[in-house]
A and B are shown apart, each in its own frame.
Chain A
Amino acid sequence: MNEVGLNTLIPGERGIVGKLATPSFEVRQRLLEMGLTKGITIKVIRVAPLGDPIEIELRGYRLSLRRKEAEAVMIQTSKS
C-alpha cells in the first residue's frame, strides 16, 4: 500500500480514499460532504480535453474536480 495524490491516477484506475490533505476547511468540508470520505473506493473516469479538471466515480455518481484539489486527496492504490 502506498499513498499517492488522486491527480496521479490515470483514467480507469481505482483507489481507496485516505486522508484529505486539503488546506482549505471549506473545500475539505465540501469534498467530505460530497462523499469523498476515508475508505471509499473511487475510480478515475476521464480527464477533460484540455487536461483539467478530472472526472471521478464514487458512491455510484460522477464528480469532477480540478487537479489542484485532487492533489490533496490521498489515495491508497493496490499497486505497490
Chain B
Amino acid sequence: MFRDTVDIKVNRIAIIGNPNSGKTALFNALTGMRQKVANYPGVTVEKKEGKVVLDDGKDIVLLDLPGAYSLTPHSPDEKIATDVLLGRLDHTPPPDMVICVVDASNLERNLYLISQIIDCGIPIVVALNMVDVAEQDGILVDPEKLASLLGVKVIPTVATKGKGIRELKQAIAERVMPSLKSQQWALAEPMQSELNELKGLLLNRQKLSESEAFHESIQLLSSPNVLEEHRGRFDPEILAHVQQDHRRLDAIGIDRLSSIVEARYDWIQRVCEIAVEKSPRMVVSVTDKIDKILTHKIWGFVIFLSLMTLMFQAIFTWATAPMDLISQGFNALGNMVASIMPPGDLRDLIINGALAGVGAVVTFLPQIIFLFLYIGILEDTGYMARAAFIMDRVMSKVGLHGKSFIPMLSSFACAIPGIMATRTIESKKDRLVTILVAPLVSCSARLPIYVLMIGAFIPSKTVLGILNLAGLTLVSMYLLGLIAALGSAWLFKKTLLKSETPTFIMELPPYKMPSMRSVILQMWNRSMQFLKRAGTIILGVSIILWFLATYPKLGHGTPSDQLKHSFAGQAGRLMEPLIKPLGFDWKIGLGLVGSLLQREVFVSTMGTIYGIKDANGSPGNATLRERLQQDVDPVTGRHTFTTLTAICLMIYYVLAMQCMSTVAIVRRETNGWKWPAFQFAYMTGLAYAVTFVVYHVGQLIS
C-alpha cells in the first residue's frame, strides 16, 4: 500500500502520545515487568526504559517519553519529549523510530502531535489505541484509510487488554517503513514561501538538520518576539531576516501563530472526514452520567470528601498492621543481633544506629505504598482531573493550580507521596511552591506527639455544649497546618517565586476502569525510588544521631543518665537559652534534636529521658504521661510541662521540618540542596516565631 519505503534500524524505539491516550498501558503491555525508571539528568522528568523482545528474538530498547500534546514545549515533560525526538540531548540519542499512541475516540486532537512528529522525519508507526472505547461511543476509525492518508503504518490496539500488541511488534520487526511525506498540510501564501526560505537559511547557514530546520522555522515564524526568545541561539543575520519577515506578514494582517496551527488542523480535519465514521450518539455517555454527580454542586464535594476520608481511613487502619509487623520485625532483628554479637559499641551502632534508622524509613513504607496506590487509582480512572476541576477555585485564591490540591491533601498522611505527586504540575515555580508548603500539612508522624501532649495536658472535657476540648485541640493542630501551608503558598507566590496564577487549561478525560497492572507497577516504582533515595540519607543521619546520643561514654548509670551526658544531651542544654523563650527546657531540646530524623522519635526520646521503657523498647504511654505531668524543675520548682508548654510544643511540631525523609525527597525532586535547605530554614523559623508569640501571649493571659 505504500509506494516508497525505507529500511530502518530498530535498536532504540521511543513511545510517545498525548496524556490519557493509554501510552503507559501500551508501554507496559510491550515491556512487561522489564523496565527501569531513572531521571533525565538535571530535570525531574521520569525516564522510563524497557526491553521488548521481537519475534525474531532480537531485543530492542523502548523509551517511554513523557506525555505531550505538542512539540511546542509548555511543560518540562513536553520539553524533554521534543528534545529527545530532535536529538538535542547528549545523554539520550534520538530514537530509530517512534511508536505514536493515539486515542481512537479523540483522534482529531491526538493527530496534531502526530502531524508534528511526521514533520520531524523520524520513522513512525501509529498505535490506534482504545478502539473498543471509540466503538462504544459510535466512532469507527478505518486504520487502512488512516494509514494511507498519513503515510505511516497504523495498528489498531487495546493496550489494557493486550490486543494488537503482536501486530505492533510485527510491524516493528519488518524494519521497513514508508518514507515520510514532510509537511502534508498546506500553508497559505505568503507564509509558505517565507517558511521555505527560512528553512533553507537554517539548513545552509546554521547547518541544522532537515527536521530541526523545519521545526525551528515554524517556531521562529510564529514567535511574538524573536530577539527576546531566540537571541543567542541563531546567527544574528538570520534573526534580522526573521524580524523583517514578521514586519511584512504583520503588515498585511496575517496572524502568524494561528495560521500555522489552523493549517495543521485543517489537514487533520480532512483526514478525519475520510478515515472516521461517526454515528450520532443517542445516549448520554457514561462519563457524562458520572460527571453529573461527581462535579455536582453538593454531591461533588460530598463524594470528594468521602473519597478522601476513605483514603485516610484506609491508610490509618489497613497500614497499621503491616507497620506494626515491620517494626516488630526490626525489633526482633535487633534482638537477634544482640544475642549473637558481644556487647560493645559496634553492636550498639548496628542496633540503635543502623537498624533503628532503616527501620524508621521502612516502617512508614506500608503507608506510603497505600497512598501511592490510592493516588494511582484516582489518576488512572480520570478522577484526579475532576478533583483539580472542583478545587481549582480554592487553589487559585492562593495563586496555585487545581493540581496542587492532591499533593497537599495526601500530605495529611505523609508529605513524601505528596511531594512526588507534584510532578503533574506543569509550571516549575508552582510545583516548587507546592513542594515547599506540603510538609506543613500535619502528617501521621505528628500524631503520636499530639496524642501524648493532649493526653497528658488537655483535659477531655466538654466545651460549648457538644465539643470535646481534647478533640478540638487536635482538630486545631490540623487546621493550623493547613492554614500555614496555604498562607505560605500565597506568600511565596507573591514574593520569592513570584509568578502569575498558572493558567488552567486541562483536559477532562473520559472515565475508565483503572488498569491495575499500570497502577501497581507505578506504585512499586515510586516506592522503590523512595526507599533508595531516602534510605541512604536516613542511614547516614541516623548513624550521626546515634553517635551524638552515645558519646562521650558515661560508663555507669541508667540510659537516662547516659543520654543526659551525651553530645545530644549537651546540645540540648546548650540549646536551652535558645529555646527558653518558647517555654522549652533542655530535655525538650534533646527531644527536638533527636527527632530531627523523624518526628515521632520525640516520644521515645522522652521515654528514655524519663527512664521508662517497656519490654519492647517503646515507652509505656500512660506512665510517660504521669512523669511528664509530675516533672518539676529542681531550680525554680516549677513544672517543666504546663498546658501552655504542651500547646507550644505541638505548634512547634506542626510547623517545623522535623523529617529527614522529606528533606531527602525534596533534594531529589528539586535536584540539589538549595531548596531543601531553604525549606528547613523557613519552616524552623516559622515554627520558632509562632511558638514564641503563642508562649508569650499565653503567659500574659494565664
Binding site for B on A (CB under 8 A): 20, 24-35, 37-38, 40, 45-46, 48-53, 55, 59-66, 69
> Known contacts being A59-B109, A60-B105, A64-B508, is A35 close to B265, with CB within 8 Å?
yes
- Do residues B394 and A65 form an inter-chain contact, with CB atoms below 8 A? no
Residue of A nearest to B261 (CB): A32
User: Which residues of chain B have C-beta atoms less than 8 A from A64's C-beta?
Assistant: 385, 389, 504-508
28 A-B pairs within 8 Å (CB atoms) are namely A27-B503, A28-B257, A29-B72, A29-B74, A30-B69, A30-B503, A33-B69, A34-B69, A35-B108, A35-B109, A37-B262, A37-B265, A48-B295, A48-B390, A48-B393, A49-B390, A52-B396, A53-B389, A55-B508, A59-B106, A59-B109, A60-B109, A61-B106, A63-B506, A64-B504, A64-B508, A66-B392, A66-B503
Say whether B112 faces chain A, with CB atoms less than 8 Å apart.
yes
Nearest 6 interchain pairs by C-beta: A50-B393, A62-B508, A32-B261, A59-B108, A25-B224, A49-B297
User: Which residues of chain B have C-beta atoms less than 8 A from A48's C-beta?
Assistant: 295, 389-390, 392-393
Say whether B222 faces chain A, with CB atoms less than 8 Å apart.
yes
- Do residues A69 and B505 form an inter-chain contact, with CB atoms below 8 A? yes
Excluding A25-B224, A46-B291, A53-B389, 13 further A-B contacts by CB distance (< 8 Å) are A27-B503, A29-B72, A32-B257, A32-B261, A35-B108, A37-B262, A50-B393, A59-B109, A60-B107, A62-B287, A63-B507, A64-B506, A69-B503
Say whether B680 faces chain A, with CB atoms less than 8 Å apart.
no
Size bin of chain B's contact surface: 35 or more
Say whether B258 faces chain A, with CB atoms less than 8 Å apart.
yes
Say whether B547 faces chain A, with CB atoms less than 8 Å apart.
no
| Chain B: minimal CB distance from A24 (Å) | 8
Contact partner of A65 among B109, B297, B385, B505, CB < 8 A?
Answer: B505
In Å, the complex CA distance between A66 and B301 comes to 19
In Å, the complex CA distance between A38 and B682 comes to 48
| Chain B: minimal CB distance from A28 (Å) | 7
- Do residues A62 and B72 form an inter-chain contact, with CB atoms below 8 A? no
What is the interface of chain B mostly: helix, strand, loop, or mixed?
Answer: helix
Say whether B691 faces chain A, with CB atoms less than 8 Å apart.
no
In Å, the complex CA distance between A32 and B72 comes to 12
In Å, the complex CA distance between A25 and B226 comes to 13
> Known contacts being A46-B291, A49-B295, A50-B394, is A27 close to B389, with CB within 8 Å?
no
In Å, the complex CA distance between A66 and B402 comes to 11
In Å, the complex CA distance between A24 and B74 comes to 13
Say whether B70 faces chain A, with CB atoms less than 8 Å apart.
yes
Most chain B CB within a 10 A radius of its CB, from A27, A40, A45, A50:
A50
In Å, the complex CA distance between A69 and B501 comes to 12
- Do residues A69 and B258 form an inter-chain contact, with CB atoms below 8 A? no
Contact partner of A66 among B298, B396, B507, B509, CB < 8 A?
Answer: B396
- Do residues A49 and B505 form an inter-chain contact, with CB atoms below 8 A? no
- Do residues A49 and B504 form an inter-chain contact, with CB atoms below 8 A? no
> Known contacts being A64-B506, A64-B508, A69-B504, is A25 close to B297, with CB within 8 Å?
no
- Do residues A62 and B390 form an inter-chain contact, with CB atoms below 8 A? no
In Å, the complex CA distance between A68 and B184 comes to 35
> Known contacts being A29-B222, A46-B295, A61-B106, is A34 close to B393, with CB within 8 Å?
no
Contact partner of B392 among A30, A35, A52, A63, CB < 8 A?
Answer: A52
- Do residues B393 and A30 form an inter-chain contact, with CB atoms below 8 A? no
In Å, the complex CA distance between A53 and B401 comes to 11
Chain B 504-521 residues near chain A, CB threshold 8 A: 504-510
In Å, the complex CA distance between A48 and B60 comes to 46
In Å, the complex CA distance between A25 and B108 comes to 23
- Do residues B224 and A49 form an inter-chain contact, with CB atoms below 8 A? no
Residue of A nearest to B507 (CB): A63
| Chain B: minimal CB distance from A4 (Å) | 20
- Do residues A20 and B70 form an inter-chain contact, with CB atoms below 8 A? no
- Do residues B389 and A65 form an inter-chain contact, with CB atoms below 8 A? no
> Known contacts being A46-B291, A55-B389, A59-B108, is A37 close to B508, with CB within 8 Å?
no
Chain B 130-146 residues near chain A, CB threshold 8 A: 139
User: Which residues of chain A have C-beta atoms less than 8 A from B507's C-beta?
Assistant: 34, 61-64
Say whether B300 faces chain A, with CB atoms less than 8 Å apart.
yes
| Chain B: minimal CB distance from A34 (Å) | 6
- Do residues B505 and A34 form an inter-chain contact, with CB atoms below 8 A? yes
- Do residues B505 and A30 form an inter-chain contact, with CB atoms below 8 A? yes
| Chain B: minimal CB distance from A79 (Å) | 24
Residue of A nearest to B296 (CB): A49
In Å, the complex CA distance between A65 and B287 comes to 19
User: Which residues of chain A have C-beta atoms less than 8 A from B392's C-beta?
Assistant: 48, 52-53, 66
